[in-house]
Amino acid sequence: MWQTTPQCLSAKKPGGFTLIELTIVIVLLSVLALGVSSYIGLGATMYSDATEREQVLNQSRFVAERLQRELRNAAPNSIRTNDAALLRCIEFAPIVASGVYLQAPVAPDAGNELQLAMLNWQSDYLNLPFTIYPRELADIYGTTGSTITLSGNEPDDGDGNSATRTVQLSSSHSFPLDSPEKRFYLLAESPVSYCFNGVDGSIRRYSDYSYNAAQPLPPVGSAALMASDVQQVRFAVNDAVLTRNSVVNLLLQFGQSPASDMFFNYEVHIPNVP
């Protein structure tokens, strides 16, 4: 008797994924993609902010350092400030050269001859503003007689000494006071102003304009943009006293919002004295 053994045939699983599996994979990939894109976006934002902050710091450092350097070369008692609602300026007279005078007409005397002791004299020093013992702003910007235009000629004094110069003024003059140290200063043809504009948040440097008794706001002259993204600027001048020279306090706040924490706070000591 023959006995037939049944054969067990295993059923094969059809190929592919079910709808549930595809849905789970899509959800997982979406979450992963969202996380990666957020991470990359955050990194890009942080890099952009850091780059922008670095640019603001670089330009702010530039204007702060240049303003400090120029203020230290300002004529004594020539620094003044002017504040308006949205415009603040600091103005000063740059020094071109300085030295000691051996002879100068000082009140009550009058004359037209100056004997100056200085090296590296240049012919273009003639027609520059020349000042002796400026004690106040009016001595630089006004008509007190402490500052005159060095108009005239420089004859050969024949002494063979290149360290002394004789200047014949085009007209007779009398300086109000004698400098205790016999100092004189030759000033630039134009004063210089740094002005902050609160409307567009900029700092501009002005030059190529005349000396005025009243400080112009802003000056009518050539303007150069020195910095942007400026939130706040404060200028304060502290006059010289017996224990120190004059001091200028500078507060500069940079950034694209009033809450910015990028500050430069300087105390600039002015070395030049009458």
Q: How far is CA 198 from the centre of its chain?
A: 16
Number of C-alpha atoms within 13 angstroms, CB side, residue 216? 16
Angle, CA 146 vertex, CA 141 and CA 151 arms, to 5°: 90
Q: Which two tokens stand for residue 229?
A: 């993204």
Are 55 and 227 contacting, i.e. CB atoms less than 8 angstroms apart? no
Note the pLDDT tens digit of each residue in 27-83: 888 888 777 777 676 666 665 555 655 666 666 788 888 999 999 999 999 999 998
Distance CA 54, CA 266 (A): 20
Q: Considering the entire predicted model, what is its pTM?
A: 0.78
Extents of the domains making up the chain: 53-77+194-269, 95-187
Q: Is 64 helix (H, G, I), strand (E, B) or coil?
A: helix
In the chain, which residue ranges form alpha helices assigned H by DSSP? 19-72, 137-141
Predicted pLDDT at 53: 56
Note the pLDDT tens digit of each residue in 168-213: 999 999 999 999 999 999 999 999 999 999 899 999 999 999 999 9
